Amino acid sequence: MSALAHAGGGGGHPAATGPDQAKRGSWLPYLLLLPGLLWLAIFFVAPLVQLFTVSLQSKLKGYPGYYYRDLNFRNYWSALTEFAPHFGRSLLFAGLATFFAFCLAYPLAYAMAFKAGKWRGVMMICIIAPFFTSFMLRTIAWRQILADEGAVASTLNFLHVLPGGRITETWMAVVAGLTYNFLPFMVLPIYASLERADPRVIEAGGDLYANGFTTFRTVTLPMSMPGVIAGTLLTFIPAAGDYVNAELLGSDRSTKMVGNVIESQFFKVPGGFPIAAALSFTLMALILAMVFVYIRRFGTEELL
């Protein structure tokens, strides 16, 4: 991840650099692309095609776990009507987590880019390092930290500010877990784009008698927009598909996300493959559509 931010920070030269750019019509680029794109074709595109066909299969009556090829579009209908609340929850929780992650990440990225000086490297290490303690262990650690008898929940209860009296088993814990897990994905791209910004431009805002907030809104924030867009996508997408946080921090009924449904339909419900596939395919289509609208809206071709 250091590399992402690091490499992202150095940009500036236009694409099409280097002495090779004159070589049009050469077969060499295709040769370079072939092995990697072949891998993606077999293990990314083909599985998606398979997923789509599975989503249209029907159960073979009398043989649980067996399906026959069909064009059963009712799978989509029943998946979407039955699990609409889970879809809604996924989008809502992921949206909230993205918002909170942004609120936490921006000051951190800002301080790193403009205030940290020689501490920048240390801060970078501090952001990446927690990643290496397995995210599973950290999520379970949060469960214990936020548990009913733990310090956080009892303090909040003592202050009578906790509705319902607990954090774990509620949506709050799930959103907190999602925010925590994907926070670095928000920090690094914002930092990369702030680092590229010229601090003198921001100072000019102050020199022109804009107050701190106006300078931030009209100068700093727009300059970091590519990073903010990349960061929100890198947070929202994995958060919307996540089911580990809902599983470990949430409750059985009221916090299940679409990922939990897909997982249980695949592994726990006999004959659940078509519905699970329909849900997965819808989730993917929904997110890709949102991503492309978002990129169009803010016009960042840099991501591609």
Residue 55 C-beta: closest distance to other proteins, Å: 9
Nearer to other proteins, 132 or 160 (CB): 132
Q: Angle at which helices 84-110 and 225-241 pack, to 10 degrees?
A: 140
- Please choose, from the candidates 103, 87, 47, the residue with its C-alpha nearest in 3D space to the C-alpha of residue 241: 87
User: Nearer Cβ to other proteins, position 20 or 82?
Assistant: 20
Nearer to other proteins, 170 or 215 (CB): 215
Question: Which residue lies nearer to other proteins by CB, 99 or 266?
Answer: 266
Task: Write down the least CB distance from residue 160 to other proteins, Å.
Answer: 24
Q: Give me the least distance between CB of 230 and other proteins, in Å please.
A: 10
Judged by beta carbon, residue 99 or residue 110, the one nearer other proteins is: 110
* Closer residue to other proteins, CB minimum distance, 52 or 160: 52
Tell me the CA distances in angstroms from 105 to 150, 176, 179, 182, 230, one per residue in order.
Answer: 26, 14, 10, 10, 13
In the complex, least distance from residue 101 CB atom to other proteins, rounded to whole angstroms? 10
CB of 8 to other proteins, least distance (A): 5
State the minimum distance, in angstroms, from the CB of residue 268 to other proteins. Answer: 13
Report in angstroms how near the CB of residue 62 gets to other proteins at its nearest: 19
Report the residue number, 170 or 240, with the smaller CB distance to other proteins: 240
Tell me the C-alpha to C-alpha distance, in Å, between residue 199 and each of 38, 47, 105, 180, 210.
Answer: 44, 47, 19, 29, 15
